[in-house]
Structure 1
């Protein structure tokens, strides 16, 4: 059997490549997409937007499934506009995975390398190496119908990566998973993307997926980019109502020990999940309860002294931007804000019940 190259083997010419440089212009009836995307090797970019915004169209253009009406598409300095989809160095993980039902997990992963001209033995050895890396070696002979959702997702990812793409496209890769499986697979996917040396573009509706998996968010509405930047920056300063609702989370990173996560910068947060090691903690602004005086007898295990930095109207609620022991956002009704006499500079106590936090591996 021919020895398969290691899944993360380095191409000696790769240092000279430039990543993704694209302006995607598509005219389809009354809809026009005009989106500029750039990303360096190693970057993970998440495309976000409401239904009909154009993000899936953008992904299909990158894959070669929809032609450009204008603009350009270059990957590592090579124009791709006239390159057939099957000839592009692009891997795709579809929302429903689209595994071949009649093939085993091993042969599903080997399919791409076989299409690239590798021999059967070499392709299967490469596929076996990827399944081992994904923790699926014992499922190599299983057909897709015998795999769990999380296992199928990892097979689909291995199949996409086995061709050593220079651009990895992920279309709602976690949407088909139940909540419990999604937690585990999200953490695994984050680790694999961190090791991926080329460009990855992710389409998702889930703000947690985007904020955990991506280095940069690109928010598209009506075919145009309305905001882009680091997840934390967009979460702090949303520029449209859609973005404000999308990233309406308080998100922190720290080190977990049991039911407590000690933040990298700030206090500890009590959670219901029991974890160990690097972890994220998230909770929505609606989970925060504010008091003017330190509460006594409160059941919440998380209590921080804060100060009101600003107030904004979000729909029928008031969002309070708080600084202090733990910078966070809190949503409350206009009546509650009036009763608390909230104004910039006012001291408050913020509480969040452990049951309303969400902790998961980083």
Structure 2
């Protein structure tokens, strides 16, 4: 594949191509916000496995872990490589840049591209941990997937984003099909019992537990091992489609799984936790009805007061490594979403949500910011990048 000018072509907030240089700059900017890196430790660097390391909170946790917590280890994700017609997925290029960042700061970090749900992938990762590190200190589980094949039954389960109960749900959302984002009312039909169960099967805690059990079964858990699965609660404005819907049921199962894992980890003095993060523009969240509008209101209210996934991930690592005490709620969950769910913030967002019309949307919300953030997920609209210059999209996956 030859170098070419890459433009953001797509439908709404779904783009067909990604920009390699823009994705690299995103990682460079993230690292710059985390540095200065603490002085090298005398003891051996802790070993971490990040599952879902290429996007959203997963890539933020990986960069923060490498730069702030000084971890080494393995990042696992599933990303599409470049083809003759298309660039690689944005996560492919972010992973290349993250691998270069790790090498720059002296972190022995390997990235694997594979299906986290598959037994063969688990065996590959465990073999690498055993031969390269001898054990593991941290497991960060950050998986948002549309489907999962159960390794025991061979059945493939599909996740859905729908409300639960007998009735559907109507909500406001943003429509990006035109030249200007528009306010739109949509209705989402309720999920069937089978769809709800499938979503829990994909997005719940079952696979997380399988990873912990596999590591434990191979004797790879070091004393004090800690695992964290990332979760979300969110606002009452989005609860019908999220926390009280199919995805919320899966997140509840994820949180329940933490309690069952704690007993299994007692032999190594380990911990299993969930981290409730705040709202963010990610490739996963942008697909949820109403979330784009909610985030546009939230940014209009908070501006720079919104805490990025990177900032929250730095906070998470500081709590996990003992730099700061754990901030747990009554259910034993780490809470990083206080800035979002502050009553005054939610009151201001609710007032805008209820007052919004097609005519005043631009005064109350910030849809342009949301669309710019989505473009940055693909490496576009990143400051400092000259998009008129050709670049090479056919970049290889980083070698160990």
Structure with the larger strand share: 1
Q: Same fold (TM over 0.5)?
A: no
Greater relative contact order: 1 or 2 (C-alpha under 8 angstroms, separation 6 or more)? 2
State TM-score, norm by structure 1. 0.24
State TM-score, norm by structure 2. 0.22
Which has more radius of gyration?
A: 1
Structure with the larger helix share: 2
